[in-house]
């Protein structure tokens, strides 16, 4: 489980965002699954904008 997620745009690939994952360590998969909603939505929004 990463501390950063880099979101790349479409051709030519550009860095759209370098997101810091602020979930505490040690990370439990079940806990991450329940707390990742906001981070997932932010990444998904970036990808949707890049795809247009």
Residues 17 and 46: their CA atoms lie apart, in Å, by 8
Each residue of 10-48: pLDDT tens digit? 878 889 999 998 878 887 777 666 666 788 888 889 888
Cβ atoms within 10 Å of 9's Cβ, excluding its own: 15
pTM exceeds 0.75 for this model: no
Residues 22 and 33: their CA atoms lie apart, in Å, by 14
SS3 43: helix
Contact 28, 37 (CB under 8 A): no
Number of domains observed in the structure of the chain: 1
pLDDT score, position 50: 80
Q: 51 CB contacts (<8 Å, ≥6 apart)?
A: 10
Give the domain range for residue 22: 4-51
pLDDT score, position 25: 83
């Amino acid at each position: 489980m990463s501390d950063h997620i880099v979101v790349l745009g479409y051709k030519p690939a550009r860095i759209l965002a370098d997101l810091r994952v602020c979930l505490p360590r040690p990370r439990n998969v079940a806990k991450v699954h329940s707390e990742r909603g906001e981070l997932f939505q932010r990444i998904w929004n970036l990808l949707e904008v890049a795809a247009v």
